[in-house]
Amino acid sequence: MASINLNLRSYLTVTGGYWAFTLTDGAIRMLVVLYFHQLGYSPLQVAMLFIFYEFFGIVTNLVGGWLASRLGLNVTMHLGMVIQIIALGLLTVPDTWLSVPFVMFAQALSGIAKDLNKMSAKASVKTVVPADANDRLFKWVSILTGSKNALKGTGFFLGAGLLDVFGFRSTLLILAAGLFVVLLITLMLLPHELGQSKAKPKFTQVFSNSAPINWLSAARFFLFGARDVWFVVALPVFLAEVLGWRFTQIGGFLALWVIGYGIVQAGSPALWGMKQHAPDARAAQLSAFILMLIPAGIALSLDQDWNAEIIIVAGLLVFGVVFAINSALHSFLILAYADHDSVALKVGFYYMANASGRLTGTVLSGWGYQQFGLAGCLWLSAGFVLVALSLSLPLPVNADKAILNKL
């Protein structure tokens, strides 16, 4: 009973810390997109500001998984919070200092911080769930991931709203102060040995030698590239330039979308109809096929000159539901495929692919919008999902622990 209570307390502490960090991550992303677009940056220039954010997320997931295995998930989680506070502070300098290289550097720190925190939070769920409880693992990781995304949406709204009320620099200081308080609380509550491997892994072990994890990681790359290729830059700029929405409207709409996306993700076990058995790769394949049809349908509708506002709003809602389920299934499968002692390494490798997909999608979002408009970005999205579906076909269709241990 004492062990169960400690595991639950650790899970709740990690989740709370992840929530607080996610609010700042969502807010800073919306702040950068809207503020620098207001300063006159082109869509491609805005996308370029996030390149280091995504690139260093790739590096961080590889190195972070190795560090967490040696030092503990507690250390990497709190290191991420400290770096995020520094990144927020850097952006409070005068406008004359806010050159593209400077902002890219600050965003690089934020990317490192975000992926340290995310890798630590996701991997810690595996360490507090018994090895034979895949149903509980699916539920707990869905709740963690879904609630995080709901709060990231709240962060979008928070960032846009505070930007309108307090301005750019005051908003950054408010976010940094709040995260510092959470850092102090979680430092006191989390066990120091959380997530440490019994054996100290070599750095060469950061690369996965598991076929299922490699296939799933490749599919994850294209899945998240498919989302960000139209969501990160193209969509908010389209809403501002073409539909004439205000900053608060854009931030509020994207916030509600991500909140709803998170709620769906958290409720994925119930939505999928899971009773006693966790889902397998077939569930991810089916949801990817359905997802592929949605951006293609939106693009076709825009080409037919239908009401763009209705098509975008309705299409994004449907896309969010299906994407949330597919993402939750992927998040469960990576933990199911990894063993307890190397979970940080495997999750780090997997989220390295995730960050690579986001980087690719972010750059293509700015470039694609300038070259082909929003419809072109949607066609790119549909193509990315098709590749993700193809890469998920070799995955084992049984996620039972006894079978996976033989892979």
Residue 271 is which amino acid?
L
> Which range in 139-148, 187-196, 393-402 is most confidently predicted, on average pLDDT?
139-148
Rounded distance between C-alpha atoms, residue 191 and residue 182, angstroms: 16
Let me know: does 285 contact 388? Beta carbons within 8 Å: no
**Closest among 229, 212, 210 to 386, alpha carbons compared:** 229
Taking 50 as the threshold, does the pLDDT of residue 405 lie above it? no
Q: Token pair 């076929």 is at which residue?
A: 211
pLDDT average, residue stretch 187-210: 61
Per DSSP, 206 falls in state: G
* Three-class SS of 257-281: HHHHHHHHHHCHHHHCCCCCCCCCH
Average confidence score pLDDT of the chain: 79
Q: Considering the domain boundaries, does residue 106 fall inside one?
A: yes
DSSP-assigned letter for residue 129:
S
Asked, for residue 197, whether it belongs to a domain, the answer is: no
Is the pLDDT reported for residue 274 higher than 80? no
Coil vs helix vs strand at 148: helix
How many other C-beta atoms are found inside a 10 Å radius of the C-beta of residue 39?
12
Query: Mean pLDDT over residues 125-136, rounded?
Result: 64
pLDDT exceeds 60 at position 280: yes
80 located within any domain? yes
Type and span of the H or E element at 328: helix 308-337
Per the domain annotation, does 303 fall within a domain? Answer: yes
Provide the pLDDT confidence category of residue 401 given band limits of 50, 70 and 90.
very low
**In the predicted structure, residue 270 carries a pLDDT above the cut 70:** no
Q: Indicate whether 380 pLDDT > 50.
A: yes
Average of pLDDT values for 367-390?
A: 92
Nearest to 285, CA basis, from 370, 366, 236, 219: 219
3-state secondary structure of 399: coil
Separation between Cα atoms, residue 60 and residue 310, nearest integer Å? 39
Q: Average pLDDT, stretch 73-97?
A: 87
Prediction pTM value? 0.70
Domain containing residue 98: 2-190+203-404
Of residues 14 and 391, more confidence is placed in 391
pLDDT confidence bin for 219, thresholds 50/70/90? very high
Q: Residue type at 26? A: G
Predicted pLDDT of residue 226:
93
Mean local confidence (pLDDT), 44-54: 77
Nearest to 377 by CA among 327, 321, 324, 319: 319
The pLDDT assigned to 400 comes to 45
pLDDT at 12 over 90: no
pLDDT of residue 334: 79
CA–CA distance, 124 with 113 (Å, rounded to integer)? 17
End-to-end C-alpha distance for the chain, whole angstroms: 33
Distance between CA atoms of residues 208 and 213, nearest Å = 7
DSSP state of 152: H
Asked whether residue 290 is assigned to any structural domain, the reply reads: yes
Cβ neighbours for 272, distance < 8 A, ≥ 6 positions apart:
279, 283, 325, 329
Report the alpha-carbon distance of residue 275 to residue 2 in Å, rounded: 28
Query: What CATH number has the domain bearing residue 49?
Result: 1.20.1250.20
Would 25 be classed as within a structural domain? yes
* C-alpha to C-alpha distance for 102 and 98, rounded to whole angstroms: 6
Asked whether residue 198 is assigned to any structural domain, the reply reads no
Nearest to 223 by CA among 353, 312, 119: 353
How many domains, in total, are found in the chain? 1
Q: Judge whether 389 lies within some domain.
A: yes
pLDDT digits (tens, 9 = 90+) for 101-124: 888 888 889 888 887 887 777 777
**Residue-level pLDDT at 292:** 95
Q: How confident is the model at residue 36 (pLDDT cuts 50, 70, 90)?
A: confident
